[in-house]
Amino acid sequence: MSSPGLNVIALISGGKDSLYSILHCIRNGHRVVALANLHPPLPEEKDSQQQEEEEEDDMDSFMYQTIGHNIIPLYETALGIPLYRAPIMGDAVDTSRVYGNDSTTTTAAAAAAAADETESLMPLLTRIKRDIPHANAVSAGAILSTYQRTRIENVAGRLGLVPLAWLWMYTELPRRDFPSTSSGLLEDMAAVGCEARIIKAASGGLDEGSLWENVSSNDGLVRRRLEKAMRRFAVDDLEQAVLGEGGEYETLALDGPGFLWKQRIVVEDSDRGVRSAGGGVCYSTIKKAKCVPKEVGQGDIKPEDIRRPARLDDSFQWALEEVLAKDTVQEESVNGQSPCQPLPAIDSHTAASDTNSWTVSNVTAPEAGSDAGAQMHGISAKLQDIFSSRGVASTDDIVFTTILLRSMKDFAPMNETYVSLFSKPNPPARVTVACGDCLPEGVQIMASFTIDLGARHLRKGLHVQSRSYWAPANIGPYSQAITVPCQLDTPVETSGGLVFIAGQIPLDPASMEFPTSGLNGEYDDFGLHATLSLQHLWRIGRATQVDWWLGGIAFLARDDNARIRTKAQLAHKLWQAMNKSAKEEEEEEQEDAELDVWDIKHGLREDPRSARGVVQRLPNFERVGNDNTNSDAQTINTPLFAVEVEALPRASDIEWQALGTTCSDVALMTVGTVDPDTRIWRSRLSNTEFYTIRFGKSSIEHGNLDDRIDTVVSELQCDFATSHATVYLANGVSINRCRAAQVIPCRSIWGDGGQAMAAVMTVRLSK
């Protein structure tokens, strides 16, 4: 059952993207109840000619488009939606890529933040909410600008509004109607009758002759001219340049489909002029404009005609079809499940550290009370004490968290306390699962934390809180991904980095609901869910420039043994399909663009590797070598294990989680062992080794793993005091000597061939 539509406040600048986003609001079943616009401060009393000239001027704002602001009042009539306006107050005080205004700042910092131009949104949106109390969402036209998106999300969060960014990462989404063009978004606009005129040109590839051209015309002539002009200056990120994402040009929307546009805006040629602002910048001036009734036949476009990107990329659609082929989905009888055996009590808050990072594992607080809320308070207090006793770092330095619950019904009380631990933008990435009665007796919550000891400014976070078509919004206190340098206080680009990615469940990004396949096969819905959530992982990986996965985990919600085994096999086949090397991708040119000064507006452009027409390759086999002398790197698969737990967030059937590496070469090998039922994978970076160790059921005796771990640790020469280890234990398997390792008790663990495993251990060892 779909959720009721939202009541949206649409932020508009007059530009093509903010107006086109309104069409997607309607396309997705939402209602636009108000338009909101910020304009330059009004001039003082002056003669009419001088005031007219000043109102035409463009304000040099980091955040808002202001060119053509004197036309904005006409949108109320053209769209038939009430318009609210307010002046832009202040300047760009906080020019960091991610906006950091929060309620915990000092008085001085709060005063400085209040002077930021972003804060002009607060009184405007507050006024709209007062007049329209049922307004509960806000939309904007951000495509690639993290600067703009994070500021709108920050304000929306403080006002309790759901942020919508339908065009976010639009250039990276599947576009089957226009696969070979560099102007897909403009083609989508043209297909539904949008009219958007260039009102300002600020690129070396454009001049006065470009002004007032319609970028969404039916004939496509302007788009082809834009491509030709931009190709000389932005070859490697041509698509973004053609869309004007680097400030190459700005537009004014004048018309669109009749279900939104009740009238169109007309500017006569005699009422337009041209001005030069120096440095190759020119813009149109508009003396007056008017709304006129639309012609007969212009209202034929319907909301369902607005193109929504396909749910799955071509490669994931192909992988889904492959794994669901009839001859690949086979159930075999498997012994029934045994009741969960509680994990024996283990040492709480054990810690391991090296020069780069620190882990605090298995923190519990059963003594705080029997309910989850009280225990999370106790865990929070213990964590604060641990930080105080160490004298270094704080909760703001946590980059990844694992939360184990006894029951998913405890998610809300846990989260209420958890959110209070973090006050800064980009909280840690997180995975949350319920382990049921596999947790130690009396324990409702067990938490483990990874802390980065390096300089905070060298970390990179991805925390998209807006609904879009790209990947699910993270509205909770966790980021999609956090990237940290491999070497202490050395930039990721120099030393390489580790990318901690949050657990991904199969929510449809636009609706934030679980999709259904519409098919009748027993595993069709699960197959879609597994593929969609893996695509989320991949898109986040590409956005954070992941070159290689060091390992992955597919968490599966409890099911009967035959079905869980089949689901595990499907997950493995999907993982293997997406980790294959595509020869044509390997041959693509990956040289970084040398961006012209015209291509970057205010220096706030995204990293060239993520904001370009060429998609980040994942896996990137150019980064991979092989330490095995008798095998090719591509024959060593990135290890994946499927683990069955009691339940997953929102009753999901699967959750993917992985650790990636970026900007670093990786050497792969499989390590020999005397036990044929034990298998070891090694991934070696410049100063770090990662081991994934699979223990088959015949590897252990009497359900205890200690002796086998001791043997492997001795062979690998690991020092657990300076290593970061995680042990996944199948039901009935235990360890008595924790060795500072994080422990995750599972109902069952499955290898790539559908074999039931006793345990899996991952080890990160700094050299």
The model's pLDDT over 418-461, given as tens digits with 9 standing for 90+, comes to 999 998 889 999 999 999 999 999 999 999 999 999 999 999 99
Strands (E), 171-216: 195-201
- The segment with the largest mean pLDDT, out of 102-116, 656-670, 701-715, is 656-670
- In whole angstroms, what is the distance from residue 551 CA to residue 660 CA? 8
CB atoms within 10 A of CB 721: 11
Residue 586 in tokens: 């390997």
Task: Pick the more confident residue, 234 or 481.
Answer: 481
- Count other Cβ atoms within 10 Å, centred on residue 615: 14
Of 96-110, 194-208, 518-532, 698-712, the range with the lowest mean pLDDT is 96-110
Give me the sheet containing 429-434, strands edge to edge. Answer: 350-353, 357-363, 445-452, 398-405, 429-434
**Which of the listed CATH numbers 3.30.1330.40, 3.30.70.100, 3.20.20.150, 3.40.50.970 matches domain 342-581+618-766?**
3.30.1330.40
Are the C-beta atoms of 340 and 438 separated by less than 8 Å? yes
Which is more confidently placed, 120 or 721? 120
* Residue that has been written with the tokens 């700005």 in this structure: 250
According to DSSP, the residues that pair with 359 across neighbouring strands are 352, 450
DSSP string, 91-134: B----SSS----TTS-HHHHHHHHTBGGGGHHHHHHHHHHH-TT
In this prediction, residue 306 has a pLDDT band, given cuts at 50, 70 and 90, of very high
Q: Which helix (H) or strand (E) holds 415?
A: helix 411-418
Beta strands of 235-356 (E only): which ranges? Answer: 249-255, 263-266, 272-278, 281-286, 290-293, 350-353
Q: Indicate the DSSP class of residue 436.
A: G
**In whole angstroms, what is the distance from residue 662 CA to residue 383 CA?**
30
What are 493-521's pLDDT values in tens digits?
Answer: 988 999 999 999 999 999 999 999 988 88
At residue 337, the pLDDT reads 62
pLDDT digits 0-9 by tens, 724-766: 889 999 998 888 766 678 999 999 999 987 889 999 999 888 7
User: With contact defined as beta carbons under 8 Å apart, do 445 and 416 qualify?
Assistant: no
Residues in the chain: 767
Using only C-alpha atoms, the chain has a radius of gyration, in whole angstroms, of 28
Assess contact for 290 and 544: CB atoms under 8 A: no
pLDDT on residue 469? 98
The C-alpha atoms of residue 498 and residue 698 are separated, in whole angstroms, by 34
* Backbone phi and psi for residue 593, each to the nearest 5 degrees, phi listed first: -75, 145
CA 399, CA 582: separation in Å to the nearest integer?
32
Comparing C-alpha atoms, which of 493, 476, 383 is closest to residue 428? 476
Q: What is the pLDDT of residues 149-198, one digit of tens each?
A: 999 999 999 999 999 999 999 988 987 665 555 678 999 999 999 999 99
**Model confidence, pTM:** 0.91
- Give the torsion through C-alpha atoms of 694, 695, 697, 700, to 10 deg: 180
319 three-class SS: helix
Instruction: Give Cα separations from 259 to 297, 535, 765 (angstroms).
Output: 12, 33, 60
User: Quick check: do 7-296 and 342-581+618-766 share a fold?
Assistant: no
Question: How many other CB atoms are found less than 10 A from the CB of residue 86?
Answer: 17
What pLDDT sits at residue 712? Answer: 79
Given a cut of 80, whether residue 90 has pLDDT beyond it is no
Asked if 379 contacts 387 with a C-beta cutoff of 8 angstroms, the reply is no
* Residue 321: partners with Cβ closer than 8 Å, 6 or more residues away: none
pLDDT at residue 582 in the model? 47
What per-residue confidence (pLDDT) applies to 547?
94
Residue 585: CA count within 13 A, CB half-sphere: 15
On the question of pLDDT at 637 being above 80, the answer is: no
| Tokens encoding 258 | 């009749």
Question: How far is the C-alpha of 386 from the C-alpha of 367, rounded, in Å?
Answer: 17
Pairing of strands 723-729, 742-745: parallel
Hey, what are 504's tokens? 């991904």
Close Cβ partners of 542 (under 8 Å, ≥ 6 residues apart): 172, 610, 615, 616, 618
- Selected from 1.10.540.10, 3.40.50.150, 1.10.760.10, 3.40.50.620, the CATH number assigned to the domain covering 7-296 reads 3.40.50.620
Domain boundaries defined on the chain: 7-296, 342-581+618-766
Mean pLDDT confidence for 691-702: 83
Identity of the highest mean pLDDT range in 66-75, 106-115, 459-468: 459-468
Confidence class for position 47, pLDDT limits 50, 70, 90:
very low
For 337-351, what is the mean pLDDT? 74
Instruction: Specify whether the CB–CB gap between 479 and 463 falls below 8 A.
Output: yes
Percent of the chain scoring above 90 in pLDDT: 57
Contact indicator for 160, 457 with CB cutoff of 8 Å:
no
pLDDT tens by residue, 230-258: 887 755 677 888 888 888 899 999 999 99
User: What pLDDT, on a 0 to 100 scale, did the predictor assign at position 604?
Assistant: 42
Reply yes or no: is the peptide bond before residue 619 cis, omega within 30 of 0.
Answer: yes
3 state SS of 213: coil
pLDDT of residue 186: 94
Mean pLDDT of the chain: 85
Instruction: Identify the pLDDT of residue 245.
Output: 85
CA atoms of 118 and 14, how far apart (whole Å): 18
Q: Are 748 and 339 in contact (CB under 8 A)?
A: no
CB atoms within 10 A of CB 145: 24
Distance, CA of 201 to CA of 205 (rounded, Å): 9
- Report, as an integer, the average pLDDT of 312-338: 77
Tell me how far the alpha carbon of residue 112 is from its chain's centroid: 29
Phi, psi of 292 (to 5 degrees): -130, 150
pLDDT for 597 equals: 36
Is residue 161 a contact partner of residue 126, using CB atoms and an 8 Å limit? no
Most confident range, picked from 142-146, 568-572, 623-627, 710-714: 568-572
Task: Flag whether pLDDT at 140 surpasses 90.
Answer: yes
Identify the CA nearest to 36 among candidates 132, 111, 147. Answer: 132
Q: How far apart are CA 245 and CA 600, in angstroms?
A: 9
